[in-house]
Amino acid sequence: MYHRLSVWLTDTYLQDNDMEEEKRSCVLYYIENMLAGAGKILLVLITAALFGIFTETAAMLLSYTVVRQKAFGWHARKSLHCTLVSLLCFVFVPLLLQEVEWNRFLLVGIGLLSLTLSARYAPADTEYNPLVNRKFRRACKIKAVLLNAVFLLISVVLGFNQWFIFGPFLEAIVITPLFYSIMRRSYANYEQYQEC
């Protein structure tokens, strides 16, 4: 479904007859991935709305996604697995967590743990996307830590809104070597390449 739509979009809006086949393949790949990602987000948000937790899921998903842009981290090997993990993390976990009474000290502790894990392990690469450039990794680490701090501050300003803490915490979990080991994936893949 996404492939056909990607081909149609590419053919309709990028009518560059001089585009090389390799470049066209790259464009198709990125459009297809963007459509698949948008479809998953839409599915998660619709499911959350059906369960009456749209706002909670949206806040958690937003904070997770923003931090993930710099911290990177684990990816499911198959699209279906990604969809199932997304539903579990962003719909069913909030359903369970909304029933818990969270005190401020615990929330700040979770936020500080997220910040610490990001300072230690971000960015985490994958086999298919090794982050070889040392300066890039360092810049991503600094930005990931700052984004964690921003969401912790936002949470405090909004009266300790836990969803802006749980999103970055989830992201902090999926960048740890322990999580990679549990998921049987290689960690620090950039080490297999000559550093830039």
- Are 23 and 107 in a shared domain? no
- Are 90 and 135 in a shared domain? yes
Per-residue pLDDT, 17:
62
Tens-digit pLDDT profile for residues 52-93: 999 999 999 999 999 999 999 888 888 889 899 999 999 999
- Are 78 and 110 in a shared domain? yes
- Are 47 and 59 in a shared domain? no
Nearest alpha-carbon partner for 194 in 108, 105, 133: 133
CB-CB contact of 60 with 90 (8 Å):
yes
- Are 9 and 36 in a shared domain? yes
Domain count, the chain: 2
Range of the domain at 152: 54-193
Last residue of a domain, one of 33, 51, 69: 51
- Bridge partners for 124 per DSSP: 72
Vertex 97 angle, CA 77 and 114, to 5°:
65
- Are 68 and 115 in a shared domain? yes
Q: With 60 as the cut, is the pLDDT of residue 140 above it? A: yes
- Are 29 and 90 in a shared domain? no
Tokens of 40: 């998953």
Tokens of 45: 């948000």
- Are 14 and 101 in a shared domain? no
What average pLDDT score do residues 139-150 get? 96
Per-residue pLDDT, 24:
72
- Are 101 and 149 in a shared domain? yes
User: For residue 185, what pLDDT band results from cuts at 50, 70 and 90?
Assistant: confident
How much is the pTM? 0.85
